[in-house]
Amino acid sequence: MPGTFEPLPGGGAAVVLDHVEMSIIRSLAVQLLELIGPGPVEDAAGDPLAELFAEGPSEPPADPVLKRLFPDAYGAPEQAPASPADAEERRAHSAEFRRFTENDLRAGKRGNALSVIRSLDALGSAGEGERVLSLSPEESRQWLGALNDLRLAIGARLEIADEDDTEALYRLPDEDPRKPMVMAYLWLGGLQETLVSTLMP
């Protein structure tokens, strides 16, 4: 069925996409790559040790989308600290954790987005027709990660914080300027849901 991932014999998943759907997913993946940015050691190209020991940022990103993609590790934002000392300790732990993990997290998200772009490019130009995208088990996992990141990014732009916010999206009038973004958010959610079901044992 178009727009629905189905399991492949021996693992992996397949989905039928038309040229518009392929173009939308590819464009969103490229935008995600641009948002995440390049690797941490561009000046030390070819030096694996420099990359291995490069430290990431210790402060959370200012952009709300990046904040959603790379949240603080300690303490939920809505959970108030017990005291100023507790808040300071939480910030210190979060900064330390971020410093040593964010580069790897960014690399993983870049890899997932690149996998989406490459697999779509491998299909070639679909013209006005549809193409069957067949993914290996590893590519399926990368697509799942990328679809999740795309939904988080769009959700942050739409300021979706909980299920109530999602429900309100269904009631937006067609003339609302957020409507195209909402449609993309819901459509990606459907793709993600069917892909998850194909990967479940």
Say if 125 falls within a structural domain. yes
* Domain count across the chain: 1
Give 83's pLDDT tier (boundaries 50, 70, 90): low
Q: What is the pLDDT of residue 1?
A: 45
Give residue 195's domain range: 6-199
Residue 172 in this model has a pLDDT that exceeds 70: yes
Give a yes or no: residue 34 inside a domain. yes
What pLDDT does residue 162 have? 78
Each residue's pLDDT tens digit, 35-81: 998 866 554 455 555 555 556 665 767 888 988 888 877 655 445 55
Taking a C-beta distance cutoff of 8 angstroms, is the pair 121, 22 a contact? no
Q: Is residue 1 included in any domain, yes or no?
A: no
What gap in Å lies between CA 97 and CA 74, rounded to an integer? 9
> pLDDT tens across 91-112, in order?
666 667 677 677 888 889 999 9
The answer as to whether 47 is a domain residue is yes
Residue 130: in which H helix or E strand, if any? Answer: strand 130-135
Answer yes or no: is 54 within a domain: yes
> Which sign, positive or negative, has the C-alpha torsion 182, 188, 191, 194?
negative
Please report whether residue 182 resides in a domain.
yes
In a domain, 18, yes or no: yes
